[in-house]
């Protein structure tokens, strides 16, 4: 009888626990749904993270958030129980402003650390600590303490074009430009940052398993950063101790951490030479050995993946738009026809080419290379938006980058068309006839103030204010040079135009199989 009563008691307790859990979840869901009821969005997103998690795991987040959130619900959309997504440039600037109300970086940044045991400048959430670190790294990222920066990029780019010429043009083998572009940017950033390239181009292989590591870890980093309870699990000391990467690992992120540790250690031995590269600038400006390790590791991903995506996609849009291809090539030939093959276009000259710069900006607008959700947190007192809606404290708000660069009130009605001419000043006082815009002709609505507004808006893809991307100038330098060199040296033909490349997104675009046939241009 006692066993029977004990069994009944255990069943009652278990049932009570289940009932309590269900009631708690229901009440929490109702409270969450009411908290942001002023903002429209998918119904399931008001009380559950199922919609956000499924979007993250789909690999098509940029498309889903644009088509099923922004286009359907407007500039500020509810995408989770405590999360909003915005494509409003005014609000996006507000998220990073230093004036009150001051938003702070949210816990989204915690899982977005390649080295999960230490923060880099990208993931630091404390404003004072971030500003102090940014001040000590600014000279390095700007290249002010590395006078040979452009020459180092040139050396790697010459190797890139030599690989294309000798291994693909000469043999007529198809080449995967997606992979080669990544190898170029990886060798470029490691050359600039550490004084020596890792040898991706020379070996034409995934050195240290870096690309495979990013492919494996990116979905985990994205999903755990967006779903709060997964965030707490993934970043917990217990999980990191049990399954976190180690510098002794043979591959993966742990292997990359070990490589960064070994390279940095050489700079901190008693008789270490002062080197004029990024890492040397970090050391000279007082970064600790551990800080140098985390910054060095972050540079590899920040300085390669996004730039490689920009190179691939801008080249793709050029190739599939004959008018743009012809006009850009004519501009390149007019300025660089006599440039010897063993020289690379100077960036100062490339920056002065109006159509090239229009193509670069339009490529970034059409396909921003980073479309993650770097949530900022509303201050405890909450905030009232310009339209009068109140956002409670603790709410997380992220920019919708893909939607931002497709705002018709900023970029014109034809936002889905690759049209570099939108960035060029109108050439004539007489208005161009209706219908000529679709042919890419300049129009009088390209007033200086409109172009300036487009540029200010596009710049938001690099962050804003204290959170702006530190490596922006290096990215533009690489993009300028690579586009010119590919245009002046090669004819590129897509092998599979109906499926030009394979692509998924987990904050970064992971791209491959951009198969092309390359031939040398006839002189």
Q: Which residue numbers belong to the known binding site for heme?
A: 469
| β-pairing verdict for 83-86 and 396-399 | parallel
**Nearest 5°: CA angle at 175, between 168 and 318?**
110
H helical segments located in 39-145: 50-58, 61-65, 71-73, 89-96, 127-142
- How many other C-beta atoms can be found within 10 angstroms of the C-beta atom of residue 131? 14
Q: What's the CA dihedral at 427, 431, 434, 438 to 10 degrees?
A: 10
Report the binding-site residues. Answer: 469
State how far the Cα of 501 lies from the Cα of 264, in Å rounded to an integer: 36
**Nearest 5°: CA angle at 32, between 29 and 38?**
130
State how far the Cα of 181 lies from the Cα of 166, in Å rounded to an integer: 16
State how far the Cα of 10 lies from the Cα of 129, in Å rounded to an integer: 52
Using the 8-state DSSP alphabet, how is residue 195 labeled? S
H or E stretch including 399?
strand 396-399
**Contact present, 270 and 125 (Cβ < 8 Å):** no
State how far the Cα of 84 lies from the Cα of 82, in Å rounded to an integer: 7
Closest CA to 226 of 103, 97, 380, 58: 58
- Computed on alpha carbons and rounded to an integer, the radius of gyration of the chain in Å comes to 25
């Amino acid at each position: 009888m006692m066993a029977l009563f004990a069994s009944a008691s255990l069943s009652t307790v278990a049932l009570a626990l289940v009932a309590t859990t269900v009631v708690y979840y229901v009440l929490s869901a109702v409270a969450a749904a009411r908290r942001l009821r002023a903002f429209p969005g998918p119904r399931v997103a008001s009380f559950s993270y199922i919609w956000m998690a499924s979007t993250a795991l789909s690999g098509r987040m940029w498309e889903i958030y644009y088509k099923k959130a922004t286009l359907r619900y407007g500039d500020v959309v509810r995408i989770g129980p405590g999360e909003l997504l915005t494509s409003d440039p005014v609000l996006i600037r507000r998220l990073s402003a230093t004036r009150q109300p001051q938003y702070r970086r949210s816990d989204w940044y915690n899982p977005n650390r390649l080295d999960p045991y230490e923060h880099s400048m990208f993931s630091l959430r404390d404003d004072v600590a971030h500003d102090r670190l940014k001040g000590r790294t600014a000279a390095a990222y700007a290249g002010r303490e590395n006078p040979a920066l452009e020459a180092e990029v040139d050396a790697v780019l010459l190797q890139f074009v030599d690989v294309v010429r000798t291994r693909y043009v000469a043999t007529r083998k198809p080449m995967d430009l997606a992979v080669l572009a990544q190898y170029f940017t990886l060798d470029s950033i490691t050359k600039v940052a550490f004084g020596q390239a890792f040898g991706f181009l020379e070996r034409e292989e995934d050195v240290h398993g870096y690309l495979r590591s990013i492919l494996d870890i990116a979905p985990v980093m994205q999903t755990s950063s967006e779903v709060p309870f997964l965030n707490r699990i993934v970043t917990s000391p217990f999980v990191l101790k049990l399954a976190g990467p180690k510098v002794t690992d043979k591959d993966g992120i742990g292997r990359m951490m070990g490589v960064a540790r070994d390279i940095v250690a050489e700079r901190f031995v008693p008789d270490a030479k002062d080197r004029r590269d990024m890492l040397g600038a970090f050391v000279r400006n007082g970064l600790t050995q551990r800080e140098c390790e985390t910054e060095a590791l972050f540079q590899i991903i920040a300085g390669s993946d996004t730039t490689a995506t920009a190179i691939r996609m801008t080249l793709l849009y050029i190739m599939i738009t004959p008018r743009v291809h012809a006009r850009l090539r004519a501009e390149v030939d007019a300025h660089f026809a006599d440039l010897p093959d063993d020289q690379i276009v100077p960036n100062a000259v490339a920056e002065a080419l109006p159509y090239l710069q229009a193509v670069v900006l339009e490529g970034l607008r059409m396909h921003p290379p980073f479309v993650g959700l770097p949530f900022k947190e509303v201050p405890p007192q909450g905030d009232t938006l310009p339209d009068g809606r109140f956002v409670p404290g603790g709410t997380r708000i992220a920019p919708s980058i893909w939607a931002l660069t497709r705002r018709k009130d900023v970029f014109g009605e034809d936002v889905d068309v690759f049209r570099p001419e939108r960035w060029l000043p109108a050439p004539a006082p007489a208005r161009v006839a209706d219908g000529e815009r679709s042919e890419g002709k300049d129009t009088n609505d390209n007033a200086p103030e409109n172009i300036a507004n487009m540029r200010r808006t596009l710049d938001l893809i690099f962050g804003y204010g204290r959170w702006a991307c530190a490596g922006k100038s290096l990215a533009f330098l690489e993009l300028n040079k690579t586009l010119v060199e590919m245009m002046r040296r090669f004819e590129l033909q897509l092998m599979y135009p109906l499926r030009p490349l394979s692509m998924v997104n987990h904050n970064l675009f992971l791209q491959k199989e951009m198969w092309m046939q390359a031939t040398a241009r006839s002189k």
